């Protein structure tokens, strides 16, 4: 090859090699490192994903307001949860959740059993909203509610 063609050939080969290396490097999965790329936060969200017949979402929320909010407020006053939320998805897809019931527990240490605490909490909840009222509030739910998933989710803060 002549000098000029040889130089073009070498540049083309070099650019091709650099490009191939870049493609190969990009396809290697990068391992995220805890506390470098993200930091787990204390506590966790307990999330119940529920499919509710779309014609009964208002009925379900009304029942939750009278039964669950009472219990959640007791748990909050006692420091066993620090937040709770109800979320409703717009749109409906059969077999998918459209209501989320979420509570945030500030520390996994609160999951340890404590008979005195647990019985006192139960008594306080039943004083505010009797077991009979609770049973009546959820009566009929089985006709239009299906639990899809229940899980504990930990928040990760990205760096």
**What does the DSSP assignment read for 70-115?**
HHHHHHHHTTS-SEEEEEE-SS--TTS--EEEEEEES-GGGGS--H
Q: Which is more confident, 92 or 134?
A: 92
What pLDDT is attached to residue 140?
84
20-63 confidence digits (pLDDT tens) = 555 554 555 678 899 999 999 999 999 999 999 999 999 999 98
Phi and psi angles of residue 108, each rounded to the nearest 5 degrees, phi first: -65, -20
The mean per-residue pLDDT over the stretch 102-126 comes to 96
The mean per-residue pLDDT over the stretch 8-19 comes to 52
Cα–Cα nearest to 38, from 141, 132, 159: 159
Structure tokens at 108: 């996994």
What is the longest distance spanned by two Cα atoms in the chain?
96
Report the chain's C-alpha Rg in angstroms: 27
Start-to-end Cα distance in the chain: 53
């Amino acid at each position: 090859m002549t000098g000029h063609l040889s130089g073009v050939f070498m540049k083309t080969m070099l650019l091709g090699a650099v490009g191939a290396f870049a493609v190969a490097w990009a396809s290697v999965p990068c391992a995220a490192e805890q506390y470098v790329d993200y930091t787990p936060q204390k506590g966790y969200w307990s999330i119940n994903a529920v499919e509710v017949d779309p014609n009964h979402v208002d009925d379900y929320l009304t029942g939750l307001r009278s039964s669950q909010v009472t219990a959640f407020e007791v748990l909050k006053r006692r420091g066993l949860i620090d937040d709770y939320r109800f979320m409703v998805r717009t749109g409906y897809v059969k077999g998918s959740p459209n209501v989320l019931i979420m509570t945030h527990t500030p520390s996994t240490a609160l999951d340890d059993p404590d008979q005195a605490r647990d019985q006192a909490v139960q008594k306080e909840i039943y004083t505010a909203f009797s077991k009979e009222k609770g049973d009546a509030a959820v009566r009929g739910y089985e006709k239009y509610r299906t639990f899809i998933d229940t899980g504990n989710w930990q928040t990760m803060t990205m760096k």
